[in-house]
Amino acid sequence: MPASLESVTTVALSAALDTASRRQAAVAANVANASTPGYVPLRLSFDGHLAEARTALRERGGLDRAAAESLRAEMEPAPDSGGQPAAVQLDVEMAELARNSVEYQALLQGLSRHLALLALAASDGRR
């Protein structure tokens, strides 16, 4: 496997795991502050970075390691549909917590398999 492909794959999976971890922290903060008057729930915004990555893929045909490492979601207040500060809804937060947990486990399994393939390649296919 080419070094650039390996490093981009590892960096991308690591960035996704970091984002899932930060999302978990945001949801935990939302649940902890559910009864705090005036508290605005937090969400991770990744759309802008994703659009930049898509543009780079279209224009340059790929992402380099530095571009992949710069993909980081930002925590922002979550407005309601009218653009006003939203209130914390525990059922929504718990659903987000469950969805994020499944995503984190899938990413972790993907990284584990990727590293296992690298170990297999390093040992010339011998176990």
pLDDT given for residue 1 in this prediction: 47
pLDDT given for residue 4 in this prediction: 53
pLDDT digits (tens, 9 = 90+) for 21-45: 999 999 999 999 999 998 999 988 7
pLDDT given for residue 71 in this prediction: 66
Domain contains 127: no
pTM of the full structure: 0.73
Give me the number of domains the chain comprises.
1
Give 43's strand partners: 76
Instruction: Answer for the pair 40, 29: CB distance below 8 angstroms, yes or no.
Output: no
Beta strand segments in the chain, E = 42-45, 74-77
Residue-number span of the structural domain to which 29 is assigned: 3-122
Domain contains 46: yes
Could you give phi then psi for residue 78, rounded to 5 degrees? -95, 110
